[in-house]
A and B are shown apart, each in its own frame.
Chain A
């Protein structure tokens, strides 16, 4: 935001990042000080487009692009009147047409196309649908107020919690001060040995700290921090996630190897039967990689014996 300069005084924005830009209905921005300057004189006109303006039309700019501000403003104004909902329409097509009409109007007004025409359209619509608009206005009002109430409640709770904590803090401090006072008085007036008194107090402080650690059991809450009650679905329109069908449990079946030949000796017997003596032993590097001579031996024997029983499916040899 710092690289945006007020179009009038230009330099002031860079020097003072806290300075805000104000925008109004024509979409042009002015920094706060310039607004004061221009509109103190009484006769208000935008310095860029010369459109007559009022002082209270200025609002703090939310968006960087003034065109966006302007559009947001127009949209808010239009939607106050065009407030029908999907339930008010018979078919989806009608609703879509309605939405498209709103977009057309906003676009026209934003880009200064056929302003008079468009305004006439708005007036005509307002006249035709007066009751519906009114009804919707009150309905919207109800929803909004419900939300607002919830927000209020939250805020109040937050505040009371803060107050509690603060009180606890002060209590704590006062207690500490009192203890210190007591220690000093003891030292001054009692006849006991000084060191002993100090150790007594230290022990008492320790004990108190222990007690504090065992906090009171937390109040059994019956709602989440957002106010949604436990044990109730927040939104009755949401259906619970369907439980997926679990098939039968996996059961391990050992692999049956098809050899189509005499069976080779099993792995554990390769060494004992003496096959291994005819293979060179694995080097250290190979052993580190997990390779053993038994594997090579076994593989050679398996490959030798598999496929020996194979016979071609049909026919007699005919030489070429």
Chain B
């Protein structure tokens, strides 16, 4: 159950500044390790700044959502939620310069399919990816173990979908709202918007679910405040303000979200190509060299920072 889950204990944080601190730390660590590569240009100009990383990741989240939407066979919502969760968690402890978001995107979706018991074979999966299928297979399979390790092997994600169903049942039974099912499309679009924010790392799934329900209600010109105060919190009035606060924060986060600017992202991607960790770039010479040496020389084990898991 959620209150005793690993999600609550290890992957829910106090506030956004904590998340920002994590990301900045990863960024500076990477720059510190690789600053010899930048030759004479300015560090800032060569490597990605935390703000640029953020923008890049936002763009890739959009791609992730698109990928899941166009997936064949049609993907259940919980897989999408889980994949987003993994993506966000991964980039809390790693920088995009080390592992390209394109690869991690595919791996997140693949692992999410497995965890949420949506059975897709690897060949079916790469049919949805444009480009070289074999290379994609290799990338996804070799990154799988890395991803799971970076998630600290906590793979169970509690998504807001079941809480939403629970709230709808409760509303139908206990409050006297007319036809609560018309809230559903608004709820769905709200949840889709939360995927682009950090709400899942800061709040519990039931709070996100309640925020979605309340948002949908206000869209339909209905007022569910009485439901919340009188029916839900009848026994714990003192907890009410913090919940209202949380719901408000979530709704603000969703409202404040802006789509990233395509041109800026293109420029960042060009920069990334230069400053990314070539050891993890499947197109680079260094990577292929390592691969070859691993296969030919049985005792060869590359030093840290390597993608390999199944060689």
Which residues in A have some Cβ–Cβ distance to B below 8 Å? Answer: 257-263, 273-275, 277-279, 297, 299-320
Among B62-70, B165-173, B266-274, B285-293, the one that faces the other chain is B165-173
A-B contact list, 26 entries, CB within 8 Å: A258-B1, A258-B3, A260-B3, A262-B232, A273-B173, A275-B169, A277-B173, A303-B1, A303-B158, A304-B162, A304-B170, A306-B1, A306-B206, A307-B3, A307-B206, A309-B236, A310-B203, A310-B204, A311-B246, A314-B14, A315-B14, A315-B18, A316-B15, A317-B249, A318-B20, A319-B256
Which residues on the B side are within 8 Å of A261 (C-beta)?
A: 206
Which residues on the B side are within 8 Å of A315 (C-beta)?
A: 14-15, 17-18
The number of residues on chain B lying at the interface, defined by a beta carbon within 8 Å of a beta carbon of chain A, is 47
Which residues on the B side are within 8 Å of A306 (C-beta)?
A: 1-3, 204, 206
- CB contacts under 8 Å to A, within B60-101, are none
Which residues on the A side are within 8 Å of B253 (C-beta)?
A: 319
Say yes or no for B207: interface residue by CB 8 A criterion: yes
A-B contact count (CB 8 A): 120
Question: Do B206 and A305 have beta carbons less than 8 Å apart?
Answer: yes
Question: Do A311 and B242 have beta carbons less than 8 Å apart?
Answer: yes
Which residues on the B side are within 8 Å of A303 (C-beta)?
A: 1-2, 158, 162-163, 166, 205-206
Answer whether A320 and B54 are a contact pair too, CB < 8 Å, given A279-B169, A301-B166, A307-B2. Answer: yes
Question: Do B16 and A302 have beta carbons less than 8 Å apart?
Answer: no
Mask, B8-41, CB within 8 Å of A = 1, is 1000111111101000000000000000000000
Say yes or no for B259: interface residue by CB 8 A criterion: no
Answer whether A304 and B1 are a contact pair too, CB < 8 Å, given A278-B173, A310-B203, A318-B17. Answer: no
Chain A residue with minimal CB distance to B167? Answer: A304
Q: How far is the CB of A60 from chain B (nearest CB, A)?
A: 57
Which residues on the A side are within 8 Å of B246 (C-beta)?
A: 310-311
Which residues on the B side are within 8 Å of A314 (C-beta)?
A: 14-15
Per the bound structure, the CA–CA distance linking A260 and B167 in Å amounts to: 16
Question: Do A258 and B233 have beta carbons less than 8 Å apart?
Answer: no
Question: Do B1 and A302 have beta carbons less than 8 Å apart?
Answer: yes
Question: Do A278 and B169 have beta carbons less than 8 Å apart?
Answer: yes
- CB contacts under 8 Å to A, within B172-211, are 172-173, 202-207, 209-210
Which residues on the A side are within 8 Å of B165 (C-beta)?
A: 300, 304
Question: Do A320 and B20 have beta carbons less than 8 Å apart?
Answer: yes
Interface SS majority for chain B: helix
Question: Do A312 and B170 have beta carbons less than 8 Å apart?
Answer: no
Which residues on the B side are within 8 Å of A320 (C-beta)?
A: 16, 20, 54
Residue among B13, B17, B209 with the most chain A CB within 10 A?
B17
Answer whether A278 and B172 are a contact pair too, CB < 8 Å, given A258-B3, A262-B235, A320-B54. Answer: yes
Mask, B31-62, CB within 8 Å of A = 1, is 00000000000000000000000100000000
Which residues on the A side are within 8 Å of B205 (C-beta)?
A: 303, 307
Question: Do A305 and B204 have beta carbons less than 8 Å apart?
Answer: no
Cβ-closest 7 pairs across A and B: A304-B166, A307-B204, A315-B15, A300-B166, A304-B163, A312-B14, A303-B162
Answer whether A274 and B3 are a contact pair too, CB < 8 Å, given A300-B162, A307-B204, A320-B20. Answer: no
Which residues on the B side are within 8 Å of A275 (C-beta)?
A: 169-170, 173
Q: How far is the CB of B232 from chain A (nearest CB, A)?
A: 6
Q: How far is the CB of A26 from chain B (nearest CB, A)?
A: 53
Chain A residue with minimal CB distance to B239? Answer: A309
Known: A300-B165, A310-B203, A315-B17. 9 other contacts (CB 8 A): A258-B3, A259-B3, A273-B173, A275-B169, A278-B172, A306-B1, A306-B206, A307-B207, A319-B252
Say yes or no for B243: interface residue by CB 8 A criterion: yes
Question: Do A304 and B2 have beta carbons less than 8 Å apart?
Answer: no
Per the bound structure, the CA–CA distance linking A258 and B2 in Å amounts to: 9
Answer whether A309 and B242 are a contact pair too, CB < 8 Å, given A274-B173, A317-B16, A320-B20. Answer: yes
Say yes or no for B296: interface residue by CB 8 A criterion: no
Q: How far is the CB of B280 from chain A (nearest CB, A)?
A: 26
Per the bound structure, the CA–CA distance linking A263 and B243 in Å amounts to: 16
Question: Do B16 and A301 have beta carbons less than 8 Å apart?
Answer: no
Say yes or no for B298: interface residue by CB 8 A criterion: no
- From the candidates B54, B164, B207, B256, name the one contacting A310 in the complex (CB within 8 A): B207
Per the bound structure, the CA–CA distance linking A215 and B308 in Å amounts to: 81
Per the bound structure, the CA–CA distance linking A317 and B17 in Å amounts to: 7
Which residues on the B side are within 8 Å of A309 (C-beta)?
A: 236, 239, 242-243
Chain B residue with minimal CB distance to A263? Answer: B235
Say yes or no for B4: interface residue by CB 8 A criterion: yes
Q: How far is the CB of A232 from chain B (nearest CB, A)?
A: 59
Per the bound structure, the CA–CA distance linking A261 and B166 in Å amounts to: 14
Q: How far is the CB of A8 from chain B (nearest CB, A)?
A: 57
Mask, B250-276, CB within 8 Å of A = 1, is 001100100000000000000000000
Which residues on the B side are within 8 Å of A319 (C-beta)?
A: 16, 252-253, 256
